[in-house]
Chain A
């Protein structure tokens, strides 16, 4: 039996220490392919922008015309008028909102902090039930219409994918096991915060859902994930039940899904929810600021587990609000609340 889903540190050991030369070569090849996607990572911070500089997005939307080839035909460039294709125009608008959020909330100029063009491909594949970030661009399917609707629909899906880009250019959290679940979680956190910012909601008004509106009519569920109540987003005969835990007591050990990155993300997701609702007000201003600074501040290592991430958020909060600040205490209690003791 062979399995490719091996943590990077194990691959590195196999690549150098394995007795079988074929095994060593294979591990090296996997590492090369994996690191190809983090090679775009910026090691030096981009030049600081002028304080009053207005950042402008540079968006391009492509149409895959239901094939699986990237990027596809260019259908809308920055500043061009609406095309009349609902999916194309929705993607263009949501990229704009996401770009504006990171500028307004954290003075960030695009994914890389240096004005990286935003590229989306829509109408990808046939009945394709997915959206992903491939290291360079966003890709969206139209859904099969039976279980899922268009993945361009919910704003938080675009926010989630674009945040994968930001993580790639900053902390570079490895997409495996706990660092992978953190990578997923920060995408969910900022996906939700972008929606809250767009709707001008406070923490107690927000739905804290990811993928609300994505499930087709007749599917039993309200969304794909809930930061407020992990494990309760759906329970459907065809999709099964939302498997997310909200506490370390229910952490799921699996090698599938890169070590359960979409499952165990429920734990840090819920920690953020607890912190943000305890602090109150606009969640992107304080709890969101702490998570953003932690992700982008250079303090977080790419192989951080939940404990190290939690400790880094508390250190960031201490810098911003003091060790005894109510915000810092709320964040400390939030991690305790999900069973992570930094």
Chain B
């Protein structure tokens, strides 16, 4: 599955984007299995917080950094980490 993460917001307002394919990334494949985008809480509107848009094969949600926990957090940092 194709996973895309876009970070927006933050004081700097600089967007970061990365994508990866679970077919070639076994760590990502395991994380995708543990994530349920339907159960992500709404991001709220905290000034200057980071917002993460996560797209897994067309299923997309946006989460605020204050709500980014557990496997979803691991997935976000795994995908964005590969971008550096």
Please list the residues of chain A having a beta carbon within 8 angstroms of any beta carbon in chain B.
1-5, 26, 29-30, 33-34, 36-37, 129-135, 148, 151, 157, 160-161, 164, 174-176, 180, 183-184, 187, 211, 214, 224-225, 239-240, 243, 256-258, 261-263
Please pick, from A1, A36, A130, A240, the residue contacting B10 in the complex, using a CB distance under 8 A. A130
- Contact for A224 among B11, B15, B42, B50, CB less than 8 A: B11
**Nearest Cβ on chain A to B41's Cβ, whole angstroms:** 7
CB of B71 closer than 8 Å to a CB of A:
no
Knowing A3-B61, A3-B62, A239-B14 are in contact, say whether A257-B8 is a contact too (CB < 8 A). yes
Residue of A nearest to B63 (CB): A4
Q: How far is the CA of A237 from the CA of B50 in the complex (A)?
A: 21
B42 x A257 contact (CB < 8 A): no
8 shortest A-B CB distances, which residue pairs?
Answer: A262-B13, A175-B45, A132-B48, A30-B42, A256-B8, A257-B8, A164-B47, A4-B42
Q: Tell me the nearest residue of chain A to B14, going by C-beta.
A: A239
Q: How far is the CA of A256 from the CA of B15 in the complex (A)?
A: 9
A310–chain B nearest beta-carbon distance, Å: 22
**Neighbouring B residues of A224 by C-beta, 8 Å:** 11-14
Contact A161 B58 (CB under 8 A): no
Say whether B51 faces chain A, with CB atoms less than 8 Å apart.
Answer: yes
Chain B nearest CB from A133 CB (Å) reads: 5
Distance A42 CA – B25 CA, assembled complex (angstroms): 51
Whether B45 and A34, one on each chain, are in contact in the complex, defined by CB atoms closer than 8 angstroms, is yes
Contact call B48/A133, Cβ cutoff below 8 A: yes
28 sample A-B contacts, Cβ–Cβ < 8 Å, listed by A number: A3-B62, A4-B61, A4-B62, A4-B63, A34-B44, A129-B10, A129-B12, A130-B12, A132-B11, A134-B66, A135-B46, A148-B12, A151-B11, A161-B47, A161-B48, A164-B48, A180-B45, A183-B47, A184-B47, A214-B12, A224-B11, A225-B13, A239-B14, A240-B14, A240-B15, A256-B51, A258-B9, A258-B45
Q: Please indicate the chain A residues that have their CB under 8 angstroms from the CB of B14 in the complex.
A: 224, 239-240
Which of A26, A29, A133, A256 makes the CB contact (< 8 A) with B47?
A133
Chain B 1-18 interface mask (CB, 8 Å, partner A; 1/0)? 000001011111111000
Docked complex Cα distance between A38 and B68 (Å): 22
A257 to chain B: which residues have CB within 8 Å? Answer: 8-9, 13, 15, 51
Binding site for A on B (CB under 8 A): 6, 8-15, 37, 40-51, 53, 58-63, 66
User: In the complex, given contacts A4-B61, A133-B48, what are 14 additional A-B residue pairs having Cβ atoms less than 8 angstroms apart?
Assistant: A2-B59, A3-B61, A4-B42, A30-B42, A33-B41, A130-B12, A130-B49, A151-B11, A161-B48, A164-B47, A164-B48, A176-B45, A262-B12, A263-B13
Q: Give every chain A residue within 8 A of B12 (Cβ-Cβ).
A: 129-130, 148, 211, 214, 224, 262
Residues of B within 8 A of A180 (CB): 45
Given known A-B contacts A148-B12, A160-B11, A257-B9, A174 and B46 have beta carbons under 8 A apart: no
Note all chain B residues with C-beta closer than 8 A to A26.
42
- CB atoms of B42 and A187 under 8 A apart: no
Cα of A279 to Cα of B13 in the assembled complex, Å: 30
Taking a contact as CB atoms under 8 Å apart, the answer to whether B46 and A133 are in contact is yes
Question: Of B11, B37, B49, B51, which contacts A5 at CB under 8 A?
Answer: B51
Residue with the highest number of chain B CB atoms closer than 10 Å, among A30, A148, A184, A258: A258
